[in-house]
Amino acid sequence: MKMKYLRIILWAALTLAASAAFAQNEANRSRLSEIEKMEVTAKKGGPKFDRFGIRLVPEIGYGAHLVRSEDFKSQGLDSGQAYLQALDVFYRPFVWGSVHIGAAIGMDWFKIRDMLFVQDDEHNVMVAPFPEDIEDIEGKDKDSKYRSSVTKWTVTVPATLQFHFGKATLRLGAEAQYSFAPRVRLDITRKDFREFTESKGARIRAFGYDFLAAVSFGHFGVYGKFQPASARRFPEPGPTFSTWTVGVCLTTF
Please list, residue by residue across 201-211, b when 16 or more beta carbons sit within 10 angstroms of its beta carbon and e when fewer do: ebbbeeebebe
User: pLDDT tens-digit profile of 16-38?
Assistant: 655 555 555 555 555 555 555 55
Report how far residue 61's alpha carbon sits from residue 226's, in angstroms, rounded to the nearest whole number. Answer: 16
Read off the amino acid at residue 69. Answer: S
4 phi/psi in degrees, rounded to 5 = -60, -45
Q: What is the mean pLDDT of the chain?
A: 77
User: pLDDT tens-digit profile of 111-126?
Assistant: 876 677 878 778 888 7
Report how far residue 39's alpha carbon sits from residue 174's, in angstroms, rounded to the nearest whole number. Answer: 29
pTM score: 0.73
Report how far residue 178's alpha carbon sits from residue 247's, in angstroms, rounded to the nearest whole number. Answer: 20
Reduce the DSSP state of residue 181 to 3 states and report it: strand
- Give whole-number Cα distances, 112 to 64, 66, 104, 146, in Å: 14, 12, 26, 9
Reduce the DSSP state of residue 26 to 3 states and report it: helix
Report how far residue 233's alpha carbon sits from residue 241's, in angstroms, rounded to the nearest whole number. Answer: 8
Distance from the first to the final alpha carbon of the chain:
36
